[in-house]
A and B are shown apart, each in its own frame.
Chain A
Amino acid sequence: MYLRNALCAASALAVIATGAVQAETTVTIATVNNGDMIRMQGLADDFTAQHPDIKLEWVTLEENVLRQRVTQDIASKGGQFDVMTIGTYEVPIWAKNDWLVSLNDMPEAWDADDILPAIRGGLTVDGTLYAAPFYGESSMVMYRKDLMEKAGLEMPEAPTWEFIKEAAAGMTDKDGEIYGICLRGKAGWGENMAFLTAMSNSFGAKWFDEEWTAQFDSEAWKNTLTFYMDLMTNYGPPGASTNGFNENLSLFQQGKCGMWIDATVAASFVTNPNDSTVADQVGFALAPDNGLGKRGNWLWAWTLAVPAGSDATEEAKTFIEWATSKGYTELVASKEGWANVPPGTRTSLYENQAYLDAAPFAAMTLNSINAADPTQPTVDPVPYTGVQFVAIPEFAGIGTQVGQEFSAALAGQQTVDEALAKAQALTTDEMEAAGY
């Protein structure tokens, strides 16, 4: 009798234990390696403490590898990931392919209306929100206040391209290895073309007209590229055609750049005294314009989305709700300080005095994000959305090829006219092949 009871109790315990194990759902998250994402991994214990039935698995990859892996997985319905970190370029394209799960049913407390309108607009397709922004960024001018003062100039809050050129000339001291301006030159749709496409918007240029005809033969593109070449050749660092974000960050932190126009996320790096030799001398300004109504800044957000092939959709949404909530922001602030919270996604963050006090670049980041309009990125009307990209699947390939031509021109291997002619020809061919 005693033995039978013991066996029954043991069986019941085993059933309960098995049930508990079976109830645990694994959510696999594909993410990129950057400071904010790594911080999120470090704080994930808070999520699992709240949701012991959900186990998190992380796959961290370099941005370009991640992009290829998640595209491959979602296109073939591999189902390897339940949460994907994707950018504002992928969201509208993937949403139109029915590859993403709608996030319209997120709880009210998550407060979708609090997301910055510019960011939310880029993640919404036909009224449906398909991704939740984890952090957002624009681009702006970061400059050395001491060098600006030495040149006898004062940076306005919203400079023009002509002023940037004048300031670059005034700050350049090639013998002292100080270059007036550092800009991206490395080929790639997310490298030099992100900068040049955003810059071209402020020069009145566009990738395509309303009939999807390539526009590299326009005067506006010639002005854009000529101005860029002039700046970089006269006032830029040597070997700029291979410089991307990291290379320019390194140059700026070592005090070799007078100005650097790049992602707002760089502000926290260049003002960090542990890494930057010029941390206390950095000022910020809006990206330049030419008085045409558009500034040369971009708009980007890393977002979390649920692929349609996931078998843990609800659990994935639960995780996204936690990671992109106001509560998460407060969690980061309590553990690592307000300066380290992911920026550029929520209006409430920019109304928080504690954040504004801790992050001197906060106001400029918000102004830069608000200055970009992904739905009307150019001076003239265009048939596409996206500020520094064209939200069509073909753009990644075309953008990289055009970027290679422009990078070759910067390296002195061809002229501006030759680079633009090749860009026009290859874009026309690719678009015709794609059926536009």
Chain B
Amino acid sequence: MARSVTPQRKAFNTAAAWAVGLLIFFPILWTILTSFKTEAQAINDPPLFFFFDWTLENYAVVQERSDYMRFLWNSIAIAGGSTLLGILVAIPAAWSMAFVPSNRTKDILLWMLSTKMLPAVGVLYPIYLIFIRLGILDTRSGLIVVLMLCNLPIIVWMLYTYFKEIPGEILEAARMDGATLKEEILYVLTPMAIPGIASTLLLNVILAWNEAFWTLNLTAAKAAPLTAFIASYSSPEGLFYAKLSAASTMAIAPILILGWFSQKQLVRGLTFGAVK
């Protein structure tokens, strides 16, 4: 029997959910508001919320100073490329762990996740030297590979969790009907797992889009994505908070819009398997 919820309780829950949501969203909201202020208004004490002279000047300055489209294109290529490559590698890996597990499958999964526990800076210098040797420093292809490797454990884990929910009997039936391994994965498993793959894809695009350690350290002028675009407006000697906020807003806008339209899939992917 469903638990009855009083109108007061419902109103309280709604208000609490909104409060938590706004609290989480506040830094982004503040960044967006600051981007429409003058530099003097940006540091005003007490802080100005909505009642100030709104200006688009910061956006004009940022547009004039930086080639936004070049950074944007690099971000799209790097985030999209690394996610697609990751999915291609992770689907067979997750399939084997979900449907043909060995005694060591759990250990392998944990080991994969443990690579995320190493601080990235610990391997910066070796990777930097490898990039120099291979001639892929400041290239999109180099970053696609590195970001794919960074996010691969998460992709495999997410797909593994999703695949585990699919009854193995369906795949057995396909095999009985004469499907090869490739056909089984491509025509039976993948279509059934499309929602899970889609949410994994979306989450990893966001992770790759926001990645700021490797993208700042392995790029210069050619392959620099939007994280480098933001970094170029940070200054310890000079108050440029409004311009920095405008650059940040421009950098997060595409991924924010993508996240807004795909929030259902994202939530579903992130909570899948949590309640059985």
Find out whether the CB atom of A34 lies under 8 angstroms from the CB atom of B237: yes
With A41-B65, A63-B236 known, 20 other A-B pairs at CB within 8 A are A30-B220, A33-B234, A33-B235, A35-B238, A38-B65, A42-B65, A57-B220, A57-B221, A57-B222, A59-B232, A61-B216, A65-B216, A65-B234, A76-B125, A77-B132, A80-B137, A81-B220, A253-B40, A254-B43, A254-B44
Nearest CB on A from B250, distance (A): 15
- Determine whether the beta carbon of B221 is less than 8 Å from that of A269: no
Cβ contact within 8 Å between A250 and B234: no
B19-49 interface bits toward A, Cβ cutoff 8 Å, 1 = contact, 0 = none: 0000000000000000000111001110000
Beta-carbon contacts under 8 Å, B42-89 to A: 43-45, 65
Contacting pair A72 B128 (CB below 8 A): yes
Offer 29 A-B interface pairs, CB within 8 angstroms, sorted by A: A33-B233, A33-B240, A35-B238, A38-B65, A41-B65, A57-B222, A59-B220, A61-B216, A61-B231, A62-B231, A62-B235, A64-B236, A65-B234, A69-B216, A69-B217, A76-B132, A77-B132, A80-B137, A80-B138, A81-B220, A246-B235, A253-B43, A253-B239, A254-B43, A254-B44, A265-B237, A274-B38, A274-B40, A275-B39
Do A63 and B137 touch across chains, with their CB atoms under 8 A apart?
no
Interface residue ranges, B against A (CB under 8 Å): 38-40, 43-45, 65, 124-125, 128-129, 132, 137-138, 216-217, 220-222, 224, 228, 231-240
**Pair B234/A80 contact, Cβ less than 8 Å:** no
Asked if A275 meets B40 with Cβ closer than 8 Å, knowing A38-B65, A72-B128, the reply is yes
User: Does A393 belong to the interface (CB within 8 Å)?
Assistant: no
B39 touches A32 (CB 8 A): no
Residues of B within 8 A of A35 (CB): 238
A250 touching B220, Cβ below 8 Å: no
- Asked whether B239 lies within 8 Å of A269 as measured between CB atoms, the reply is yes
**Nearest chain A CB to B242 CB, angstrom units:** 11
Chain B residues closer than 8 Å to A33, beta-carbon distance: 232-235, 238, 240
By a CB distance below 8 angstroms, the chain A residues around B220 are 28, 30, 57, 59, 80-81
The interface bits of chain A over 71-107 (1 if a CB of B lies within 8 angstroms of the residue's CB, else 0) are 0100011111100000000000000000000000000
Given A59-B220, A61-B231, A254-B45, the answer on whether A245 and B137 have CB atoms closer than 8 Å is no
CB contact list, A212-238 vs B, under 8 A:
none
Give min CB distance, A422 to chain B, whole Å: 25
Q: Does A424 contact B (CB under 8 A)?
A: no
- Residues on A with C-beta less than 8 A from B45 are 254
Give Cα A274–Cα B37 distance, bound, in whole angstroms: 13
B contact residues around A340 at 8 Å (CB): none
What is the bound-complex CA distance between A69 and B44, given in angstroms?
33
Q: Is the CB of A250 within 8 A of B239?
A: yes
Interface residues of A (CB under 8 A from B): 28, 30, 32-35, 38, 41-42, 57-65, 69, 72, 76-81, 244-246, 249-250, 253-254, 263, 265, 269, 274-275
Residues of A within 8 A of B43 (CB): 250, 253-254
Query: Across the interface, do B238 and A269 meet the contact criterion of CB distance under 8 Å?
Result: yes
- Closest B residue to A31 using CB positions: B232
| A244 nearest CB neighbor, chain B only | B236
Query: With the chains together, A79 CA to B135 CA distance in Å?
Result: 11
Q: Is the CB of B232 within 8 A of A61?
A: yes
Q: Are B238 and A246 in contact (CB under 8 A)?
A: yes
* Residues on A with beta carbons closer than 8 Å to the beta carbon of B240: 33
Q: Which of A64, A80, A265, A274 has the most CB of B within 10 A?
A: A80
- Say how far A116's CB is from chain B's closest CB, in angstroms: 20
Q: Are B238 and A59 in contact (CB under 8 A)?
A: no
Query: Smallest Cβ distance from A80 to chain B, in angstroms?
Result: 4
Q: CA of A249 to CA of B44 in the docked complex: distance in angstroms?
A: 12
Q: How far is the CA of A81 from the CA of B224 in the complex (A)?
A: 14
| A42, B63: Cα distance in complex, Å | 12
CA A106 to CA B163, docked complex, whole Å: 67
Establish whether residues A58 and B137, one from each chain, have CB atoms under 8 Å apart when the complex forms.
no
Separation of A190 and B128 alpha carbons in the complex (Å): 26
Known: A30-B220, A57-B221. A65 touches B132 (CB 8 A): no
Instruction: Report B13 CB to chain A, min CB distance, Å.
Output: 37
Residues of A contacting B216 with CB < 8 Å? 61, 65, 69
Question: Distance in Å from the Cβ of B233 to the closest Cβ of chain A?
Answer: 6
Chain A residues near B231 (CB-CB < 8 A):
61-62, 65
Docked Cα-Cα span, A57 to B228, in Å, equals: 14
Q: List the B side residues contacting A254 at CB < 8 Å.
A: 43-45
Which residue of the partner chain, among B40, B138, B221, B239, contacts A246 with CB atoms under 8 Å?
A: B239
Name the residue in B45, B128, B217, B235 with the highest tally of chain A Cβ atoms < 10 Å from its Cβ. B235
Q: Are B221 and A58 in contact (CB under 8 A)?
A: yes
Partner of B221, one of A59, A65, A244: A59
Contact present for B128 and A78 (CB under 8 Å): yes
Which 6 pairs show the lowest CB-CB distances between chains A and B? A60-B232, A57-B221, A62-B234, A33-B235, A80-B220, A250-B43
How many Å lie between the Cα of A274 and that of B235 in the bound state? 19
Looking across the interface, which residue of chain A has its beta carbon closest to that of B240?
A33
Cα-based distance from A78 to B216 in the complex (angstroms): 15
* A65 vs B128: C-alpha distance when bound (angstroms): 16
The answer, among B44, B129, B232, B237, for a CB contact under 8 Å with A263, is B237
B residues within 8 A CB of A250? Answer: 43, 239
Residue of A nearest to B230 (CB): A62
Cα A63 to Cα B240 with chains together (Å): 14
Shortest CB–CB separation between residue A74 and chain B, in angstroms?
Answer: 12
Alpha-carbon distance A34/B238, docked complex (angstroms): 7
Q: How far is the CA of A30 from the CA of B228 in the complex (A)?
A: 12
